[in-house]
Amino acid sequence: MISGVWSCQDNSRPNYQFFPNMYEPVGYEAYGEYEVFPNSQEALLPVKGTIARGYSLYDYDNTNEGYDAALKALKSPLSDNEIDTKRGKELYDIYCGICHGGKGAGQGKLVKREKILGVPSYADRPITQGSIYHVIYYGKNAMGSYANLLNEEERWQVTAYVEALRAELLK
């Protein structure tokens, strides 16, 4: 009998709950499915023309001209003592290092395993802090945008760390 009960356990469906109305939220939960939303999808992009608190606008377009303009004109708002190399490295290792490699030479684990090819070394490209930030924001060619993974301040921290790596490579 015990084995009978045991064998009925099905891991592909959730268990019973006591008093589900204490377990299930009344409000909308993140990633929930509710009819009021388009596609019943609670996870939505910000409404067009609005901007979230604590965020700011980015003035450069996702075009070649925008890239050139950012390359020349865009400067980091971080002062020298605001640059947190430790955090920059942490974030770089999570989001960038997997392709660009820990040293920025384009030899990340995915490149070494030949999953993604053609990742250039930072030393081989004429990049500035403006263009680095621009590419993190919009992506470029095969690289996607990281604007939704890193907030503005974090993007500048990573930019500073990439610049440091590039300086190290060019030595």
Partner 1 sequence: MEIVSKFKNQHSPIVDMKQENSQHPQIKLVFFGILLFSFLFTPLHAQEADPVKGKALFNANCAACHQLDKKMTGPALRYVETRLSEDEGLDREWLYGWIRNSAAVIKSGDTYANKIYNEYNGAAMTAFPQLSDEDLDNILAYTAQDKPAPVVAATSGAAQVNSEGGSGLSKDIILGALAILFALLALGLFLVNKTLRRFAAANGVEVQEAIKRPSLWKAYVKNQFLLLVTAIFFLLSSAYFVYGYFMQIGIDQGYQPIQPIHYSHKIHAGDNGIDCKYCHSSARVSKHSGIPSLNVCMNCHKSIYEVAPSTATEEYSKEFYDAEIQKLYDAVGWDDEAQQYTGKTKPVKWVRIHNLPDFAYFNHSQHVSVAGLECQTCHGPVEEMEIMYQHSPLTMGWCINCHRETNVKVEDNGYYEKIHEALSKKYGVDKLTAAQMGGLECGKCHY
Please choose, out of 51-59, 75-83, 113-121, 163-171, the segment that lies near partner 1 by the rule CB under 8 A: 113-121
- When asked if residue 170 is in the footprint of partner 1 (CB under 8 A), the reply is no
Which residue among 46, 49, 54, 118 contacts partner 1 (CB under 8 A)?
118
Does residue 167 contact residue 101 with C-beta atoms inside 8 Å?
Answer: no
* Cα distance between residue 86 and residue 46, in whole Å: 31
Q: According to CB under 8 A, which one of 116, 153, 164, 169 is a site residue for partner 1? A: 116
Cα–Cα distances in angstroms (integers) from residue 87 to residues 61, 84, 93, 134, in the given order: 28, 6, 10, 20
Identify whether the C-beta of residue 146 lies closer than 8 Å to the C-beta of residue 159.
Answer: no
User: CB–CB of 115/99 below 8 Å?
Assistant: no
- In terms of Cα–Cα distance, which of 86, 120, 103 is closest to 165? 103
Please report whether residue 85 would count as binding partner 1 according to CB under 8 A: no
Alpha helix (H) residue ranges in the chain? 2-7, 20-23, 64-73, 85-95, 97-100, 109-112, 129-138, 152-170
Q: Which residue among 3, 7, 11, 56 contacts partner 1 (CB under 8 A)?
A: 11
- Does the footprint of partner 1 cover residue 62 (CB under 8 A)? no
Q: Verify binding: residue 94, partner 1, rule CB under 8 A.
A: yes
Q: How far is the CB of 171 from partner 1 (least distance, A)?
A: 18
* By CB under 8 A, residue 23 contacts partner 1: yes
Stretch that binds partner 1, among 48-56, 119-127, 130-138, 161-169 (CB under 8 A): 119-127
List interacting residues with partner 1 (CB under 8 A): 2, 5, 11-18, 22-26, 30-31, 33, 39-41, 43, 63-64, 93-95, 98, 106, 109-110, 113-120, 124-125, 139, 141-146, 148-151
